[in-house]
């Protein structure tokens, strides 16, 4: 008798109940949604998974997986979010649900900075005739993908292809304009040591670099003019070349540091000051 009881108990635990009334499932869905809306994302995940367990008719399979994905995304667990968005995509009941789940996958890829994957998915959607009316949305998220990969000029071009985001076009153009040019800093530093540092606003470092290079360059040339070849080689190779290479390295470092500050300031503004739709 005990053995049969164990089998019955096992089946009750293993097999979801297909006989739960729809109003109970609706209440469970509403309860889980309430947890999500109140930003209790861990509890929302638990309640939506409980809903899926008892939803034998799979009425809520799309919505529950979509909200589980959104909850994981809110907790910065982007790989988990993509998994559940993909399940939602598979169970989409119409083109609108299909498009929404695909966009959520793209947004999660943007946030985790897998830009190449996001752009590939956007290309696929753009070539899908079912979503020809969504081109503005696709260009919008393409712009965000370029922002997170620090390609502000391409982001401006993408936003310019939409009808309602001209503000973002100007914003991206301004960020690109503010950024320093790495090739320019390297070129001017080759011809005028310290110019790259001065270009990025590091005046003391630039003047110091120019001074040391001028000094050791002069001493190296003077040694050769005075026929002190050995002194010229030692001075040139050990001192002048050292400061000259240091000038090139500093120019590259300062440009990247300043550009990173500009990018981070722009992203901070978009996070707190931009009120449009964000990834």
What pLDDT band is residue 87 in, cutting at 50, 70 and 90? Answer: very high
What pLDDT band is residue 245 in, cutting at 50, 70 and 90? Answer: low
**Poorest-pLDDT segment among 28-37, 169-178, 179-188, 195-204:** 195-204
pLDDT tens digit sequence for 128-154 = 899 999 998 999 999 999 999 999 999
What residues contact 117, with CB distance under 8 A and at least 6 apart?
Answer: 109
Higher pLDDT, residue 3 or 163: 163
Q: Give the pLDDT mean for 227-252.
A: 58
Q: Give the pLDDT mean for 13-39.
A: 77
Q: What is the mean pLDDT of the chain?
A: 81
Q: Is 59 exposed, middle or buried (0-12, 13-18, 19+ CB in 10 A)?
A: middle
Give the tokens for residue 203: 């005046």
- 30-36 long-range Cβ contacts below 8 angstroms, 24+ apart: 32/64, 32/67, 33/67, 36/67, 36/70, 36/71
Phi-psi region of 113 (alpha: psi -120 to 50; beta: other; left: phi over 0): left
In angstroms, what is the C-alpha Rg of the chain?
30
CA distances from 78 to 39, 67, 83, 111 (A): 17, 13, 9, 8
Give the tokens for residue 131: 């979503």
Higher pLDDT, residue 23 or 27: 27
Check residue 8 and give its pLDDT: 42
Q: Is 49 exposed, middle or buried (0-12, 13-18, 19+ CB in 10 A)?
A: middle
What residues contact 138, with CB distance under 8 A and at least 6 apart?
Answer: 122, 125, 126, 131
- Assess whether pLDDT exceeds 50 at residue 17: no
What pLDDT band is residue 213 in, cutting at 50, 70 and 90? Answer: low
- Assess whether pLDDT exceeds 70 at residue 82: yes
Residue count of the chain, please give it: 279
- Assess whether pLDDT exceeds 50 at residue 2: no
pLDDT tens digit sequence for 51-78 = 999 988 889 999 999 999 999 999 999 9
- Assess whether pLDDT exceeds 80 at residue 226: no
What pLDDT band is residue 206 in, cutting at 50, 70 and 90? Answer: low
Q: Give the pLDDT mean for 268-275.
A: 88
- Assess whether pLDDT exceeds 50 at residue 165: yes
Check residue 141 and give its pLDDT: 96
Give the tokens for residue 130: 């079912």
């Amino acid at each position: 008798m005990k053995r049969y009881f164990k089998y019955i108990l096992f089946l009750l635990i293993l097999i979801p109940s297909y006989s739960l009334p729809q109003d109970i499932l609706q209440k469970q869905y509403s309860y889980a949604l309430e947890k999500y809306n109140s930003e209790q994302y861990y509890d929302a995940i638990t309640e939506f998974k409980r809903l899926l367990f008892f939803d034998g008719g799979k009425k809520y399979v799309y919505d529950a997986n979509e909200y589980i994905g959104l909850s994981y995304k809110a907790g910065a667990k982007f790989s988990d979010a993509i998994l559940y968005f993909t399940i939602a995509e598979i169970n989409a009941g119409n083109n609108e649900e299909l498009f929404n789940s695909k966009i959520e996958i793209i947004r999660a890829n943007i946030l985790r900075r897998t830009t190449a994957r996001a752009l590939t998915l956007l290309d696929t959607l753009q070539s899908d005739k079912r979503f020809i009316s969504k081109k503005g949305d696709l260009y919008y998220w393409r712009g965000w993908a370029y922002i997170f990969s620090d390609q502000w000029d391409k982001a401006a071009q993408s936003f310019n292809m939409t009808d309602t985001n001209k503000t973002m076009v100007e914003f991206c153009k301004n960020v690109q304009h503010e950024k320093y040019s790495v090739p320019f800093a390297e070129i001017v530093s080759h011809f005028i040591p310290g110019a790259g540092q001065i270009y990025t606003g590091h005046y003391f470092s630039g003047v110091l670099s120019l001074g040391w290079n001028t000094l050791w360059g002069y001493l190296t040339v003077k040694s050769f003019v005075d026929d002190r070849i050995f002194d010229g080689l030692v001075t040139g190779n050990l001192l002048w070349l050292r400061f000259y290479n240091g000038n090139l390295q500093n120019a590259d470092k300062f440009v990247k540091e300043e550009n990173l500050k500009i990018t981070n300031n722009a992203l901070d503004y978009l996070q707190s000051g931009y009120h449009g739709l964000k990834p």
